[in-house]
Amino acid sequence: MKRSVRKHEERKKTQGAKPRFLPLLIATLLLIVLIFLFSRNSRLSEAYIQHLYPPLATLLSFLSGFFPFSLYDLFITATILWLIVMTARLIFRKRRWKRYLYSVGWFALIVIAWFYLGWGIAYFRGDFYDRSGVEKAAFDRENLKRLTERCIEQANQSYTDCIGMDKEAVRLEIEQSYAGLQEPLGLSYPNGKRRVKPMLYEPLYTSMGVSGYFGPFFNEIHVNHYGLTFTYPFTLAHEMAHQFGIAAESEANLYGFAACAHSSHPMVRYSGYVSVLGYLLRDARRLLPDAYESLVQSIRPEIIADLQRNSEHWMAARNEILSDTQDKMYDAYLKSNRVSSGRENYSEVVGLLLSSYNLLVD
């Protein structure tokens, strides 16, 4: 009698320990529906970014600001280690696969919800033209040539040696620029704090050609200090744009350029103009073959030297396998979040500049 009671109690405990997939299924469906609603309604997404995201960004950036290191990098590391341990226990200790799927399923659900509600909904906003009311300019040879000439002229005038740059002063200068641009750029300023965090695995990111990134889980900005000094202000301004809720890389380039161009700091201004010059020359080589050489010859030799030095600097550290893998993964990530052009989206800043240069700079 006692033995049967004991067996019944053990069976009851075992049954109670079984994972219940129904709550997980319901939560997953709710999250899918929520993401679907935001992805199909840009006004709803815009309202979220303008009104709900700012206090969340303020809270996350405030909490992460207590730590001088990257919580995002630690979180990614812990996640990978946890998955490895869970998988190893499943294989070598013959743990129940249902329990494994249950644990991994809940974890994945929480991370995806955290990503989208913490920042990722920014991918579903209307584009820059919808938000700003700026009319899209024709992408033709004449407009491209005129814009390239103007940016070359400004780059030549703003050239300065960036040796001895005070990076904290640069951060404060860019912060001030964004504060002055909040109306034309449609920013919810201040939108939390923007402290620059070092990369935990900087050599790895360097070999992949990553100059900076925004960590959405803890609202953190990262800049790779391997980059040459003259590129630092533009990279920082670009990552700051992401923190403001700008998801598209082309728009982050536009916002970063506007913040640099509006600055009175000579190093910041130069960084903005020389950085977009690379995108303009790339399109000019393709669309203006007859004028390309004369455009290049009009650029100061010091600027040409900086651009060449920057290219050689990153190529020297590049690991082809890691770089190509990262490019493909990030391309797939962008396309999965409705950035149809993938990594090519970076260079689409030229079209945005053609339409908004006079509004944002003049």
11-32 residue pLDDT tens: 544 444 567 889 999 999 999 9
Considering the domain architecture, whether residues 85 and 161 belong to the same structural domain is answered as: no
- The one-character DSSP state at 138 is P
Distance CA 300, CA 137 (A): 29
Q: Which one, of 104, 145, 128, 130, lies nearest residue 287 by Cα?
A: 145
Considering the domain architecture, whether residues 24 and 108 belong to the same structural domain is answered as: yes
Q: Which residue has the tokens 């995806």?
A: 112
Point out the domain boundary residue: 102, 124, 146: 124
Considering the domain architecture, whether residues 91 and 217 belong to the same structural domain is answered as: no
Q: Which residue has the tokens 């799927």?
A: 101
Considering the domain architecture, whether residues 28 and 149 belong to the same structural domain is answered as: no
Considering the domain architecture, whether residues 9 and 31 belong to the same structural domain is answered as: yes
Considering the domain architecture, whether residues 113 and 151 belong to the same structural domain is answered as: no
pLDDT at res. 229:
97
Point out the domain boundary residue: 62, 97, 124: 124
Going by their DSSP bridges, the two strands 212-215 and 196-197 should be labelled as: unpaired
Considering the domain architecture, whether residues 198 and 231 belong to the same structural domain is answered as: yes
Q: Which residues of the chain have pLDDT under 70?
A: 1-18, 94-95, 362
153 Cβ contact list (under 8 Å, min separation 6): none
- Overall size of the chain counted in residues: 362
Does any domain span residue 107?
Answer: yes
pLDDT at res. 91:
83
- The one-character DSSP state at 299 is S
pLDDT at res. 284:
94
Does any domain span residue 130?
Answer: no
Cα-to-chain-centroid distance, residue 228: 20
Question: What does the pLDDT look like over 250-268, one tens digit per residue?
Answer: 999 999 999 999 999 999 9
Does any domain span residue 129?
Answer: no
Considering the domain architecture, whether residues 178 and 247 belong to the same structural domain is answered as: yes
Considering the domain architecture, whether residues 196 and 286 belong to the same structural domain is answered as: yes
Side chain identity at residue 101, one-letter code: L
Q: Which one, of 238, 275, 247, 243, lies nearest residue 350 by Cα?
A: 275
- Domains in the chain, number: 2
> Of all helices (H) and strands (E), which one includes residue 214?
strand 212-215
pLDDT at res. 14:
47
Distance CA 11, CA 7 (A): 6
Provide the domain limits for residue 73: 2-124
Considering the domain architecture, whether residues 110 and 139 belong to the same structural domain is answered as: no
Point out the domain boundary residue: 63, 94, 124: 124
Considering the domain architecture, whether residues 174 and 313 belong to the same structural domain is answered as: yes
pLDDT at res. 5:
47
pLDDT at res. 362:
65
